[in-house]
Chain A
Amino acid sequence: MNNKLKVLRAMRNWSQAELADRLDVSRQAVNAIETGKYDPSLPLAFKLARLFEMPIEEIFDDGQEGSKND
């Protein structure tokens, strides 16, 4: 799953370690999410959304946009 975490973090001039502290997770967790090696759990995704004050779907993109059958 793609995400804008690296961009959002850079806009705030936070290091991975600073973001990890704010989320109370390890720096490895932040790095794994940013590089797409790990999709966060729903509680952690909500935590990220609250921290960046934006909806989850603006941070994460599952690549399914436009493929809805409506």
Chain B
Amino acid sequence: MTDVDTVKPRRRLSPRQRRYRFALGFAAVVGGIVGGWMVADQPKGGDYGPEVIFNGPLSASFAIGAALLWVLGLAISIAIYHRAIDDHEERAWLWAGLAGWYAFIIPAPVWWVLHRADLAPPADAMLLFVLSMVVNGIVWLWLKYR
């Protein structure tokens, strides 16, 4: 018996699976373009660390382009994604979204009032955004792959 005999025929993807992969691939391409463009937009020999990603200055052309790509790219990929996921993943997505939301609405006012009393630095919107995304991602991965 050759290796060819033991290879299972590759399963054809259903339309739902094709839409699902397209949505994820499209989002990855948009993310890659934004990330690559951000790096290319930095001055030669500049710093590519967290400061650039979170708070460093950006050119107006990149900022407008990235904002448009984020809004349009995300809207398109999310619309396709939600039409392509099965109910197990939809449930994971809904709980992950809720957890991400709580990860924003619980710390944000706490940080805000503490800052107003001079007990904390000004609230950092990007840090809250990242926290919300990390919680969202962890819960989604746990519910989908546990």
Contact = CB atoms under 8 A, between A and B. Distances in A.
Interface stretch (B59-67, B82-90, B99-107): B82-90
A41 B87 contact: yes
Interface in B80-130: 86-89, 91
A36 to B, nearest CB: 12
B88 A32 contact: yes
Contacts of A24: 14, 16-17, 86
A29 B86 CA distance: 8
A70 to B, nearest CB: 32
A26 B87 contact: no
Interface of A: 17, 21, 24-26, 28-29, 32-33, 37-38, 40-41, 43-44
Nearest to A42: B87
Nearest to B91: A38
B146 A37 contact: yes
B138 to A, nearest CB: 16
Nearest to B144: A28
A48 B86 CA distance: 14
Nearest to A30: B88
Contacts of A28: 88-89, 144-145
Nearest to B11: A21
A33 B88 CA distance: 9
A26 B11 contact: no
Closest 8 CB pairs of A and B: A29-B88, A25-B86, A41-B87, A24-B14, A29-B86, A38-B88, A24-B16, A32-B88
A50 B51 CA distance: 56
B58 to A, nearest CB: 38
B11 A29 contact: no
Contacts of B145: 28
B88 A26 contact: yes
Contacts of B88: 25-26, 28-29, 32-33, 38, 40
